[in-house]
Amino acid sequence: MSNTLVEVAQQLRDTQKKVQLIYAFNGTGKTRLSNEFKNLITPKNDGEEESTLSRQKILYYNAFTEDLFYWDNDLERDLERKLKIQKNTFTEWLLTLLKDLGQDGNIIKYFQHYVNSKLTPNFSDDYSEVSFSLERGNDEQLANLKISKGEESNFIWSIFYTLIEQVVETLNEIDPDYPEPTIFDELEYVFVDDPVSSLDENHLIKLAVDFASLIKSNNSEVRFIITTHNPLFYNVLHNELGSDDKELGYKAKNFEKYRLDKKDNNLYEMEIQNNDSTFCYHLHLKAELEKAKDEDRLNKYHFNYLRNILEKTTIFFGYKKWSDLLPQTVDESRNLYEKRIINSRSHSKYSGEEVKELTEDEKRILIRLIGHLDKIYKPNLRDDQSV
């Protein structure tokens, strides 16, 4: 049954599970879903400021969270590059809270753990901006660096993760017999939308395991909703949250997982994923590629889908390299060209970095390789049947 995003958000709110995990392809509407859910939990009324309500009842991390951080590149002198934090009631509350709780050290610890142990954030005294320095190993430092977009995203996530950790620890420490008020008493939900776009697989797995452990340690009534387009992140969370943990008192029955699909007429379908089945995301990627090809809406991000399928199929069939699965011709230059195209087009981490439209040559290659997938799975298929 198809629903609007508002109805999907309502479905998430009505579910009694403490943890809900949602997989959806890029462009499906995960960020819009997080905003619709926030509006459902904290609707604007009587002129009350929305951010005040939000921080009391829901903490959410999405693309708009990252937009609160922006660069001052010191264009005149090109010396003091700083990541500035846009002031609003939420960021002022967040950073004051972290400062009062002395959590800047933990933010740095998490950031270095997932990025680079020698890259250090340096907060200003009022926590309104951050500069970055890099130890060079010879008692020298490179100061006032502008870090990459991926490193920046990980830094912002490290701030948010530290806050979530404080929420869990603070609420877990409440003695039910002698409860004392805390600043998180009215918090109902933590909504996290794709915090993992720039991590390599090893760090991604580590982050997913750490995040799952933090969620499982939550003994309060706060509920978690996580959305992602990353299959590996989804599967690690699925495995970690789908099993009981007696030591933490966590029960897997309080966990539910879904796949969100966008249908026609701007409607959506959220399907529960069975507990006894593996999430075969490569088959969904293949179906999505074929649908995009048939509807003439192929984009550069579809090269990511293609490479993902090839890598997983390589493991299944026992090949050493995914490029071994590409069409092999006597023209070696053509073989190398197709490999280079997939490599270059599947390594763009951010959709805004380049033009999304395909050239005619790129489209021709992508269509050819999508058709070739059928020959991989059905070796006896003739060329005139595969496309």
With 90 as the cut, is the pLDDT of residue 216 above it?
Answer: yes
Which pair of tokens denotes residue 308? 């993902």
DSSP reduced 3-state for 336: helix
Confidence (pLDDT) at 13: 96
d(CA 304, CA 26): 11
Which pair of tokens denotes residue 214? 């933090």
3-state helix, strand, coil in the chain (%, to 5): 50, 15, 35
Which pair of tokens denotes residue 301? 């991000």
Confidence (pLDDT) at 197: 66
Beta carbons within 8 Å of 77's beta carbon, 6+ residues apart: none
Percent of the chain clearing pLDDT 70 (strictly above): 84
Confidence (pLDDT) at 326: 85
Positions of E strands within 80-202: 82-85, 119-123, 129-135, 141-142, 189-193
Tell me which H or E stretch contains 354. none
Query: What are the structural domains, with CATH classification, of the chain?
Result: 5-279 (3.40.50.300), 282-386 (no CATH)
Closest CA to 85 of 117, 102, 109, 107: 107
Confidence (pLDDT) at 55: 66
Please, are residues 55 and 160 in contact by the beta-carbon 8 Å criterion? no
Please, are residues 3 and 267 in contact by the beta-carbon 8 Å criterion? yes
Please, are residues 153 and 198 in contact by the beta-carbon 8 Å criterion? yes
Could you tell me which residue, 225 or 266, shows the higher pLDDT? 225
**DSSP result, 231-294:** HHHHHHHHHHHTS-BTTTTB-GGGEEEEEEEE-GGG-EEEEEPPTTS---HHHHHHHHHHHHHH
Mean pLDDT calculated for residue range 360-379: 82
With 80 as the cut, is the pLDDT of residue 285 above it?
Answer: no
How confident is the model over 166-190, as pLDDT tens digits? 999 999 998 877 778 888 899 999 9
Which pair of tokens denotes residue 337? 């060209």
| Cα–Cα distances in angstroms (integers) from residue 74 to residues 119, 131, 180, in the given order | 20, 12, 47
- Worst-scoring range by mean pLDDT, 36-50, 165-179, 231-245, 349-363? 349-363
Mean pLDDT calculated for residue range 110-126: 90
d(CA 143, CA 120): 10
**If pLDDT is split at 50, 70 and 90, which confidence band does 162 have?**
very high
Beta bridge partners of 6: none
Confidence (pLDDT) at 330: 65
Please, are residues 70 and 84 in contact by the beta-carbon 8 Å criterion? yes
Positions of E strands within the chain: 19-23, 58-61, 69-72, 82-85, 119-123, 129-135, 141-142, 189-193, 223-228, 255-262, 268-272
350 burial class (0-12, 13-18, 19+ CB within 10 angstroms)? exposed
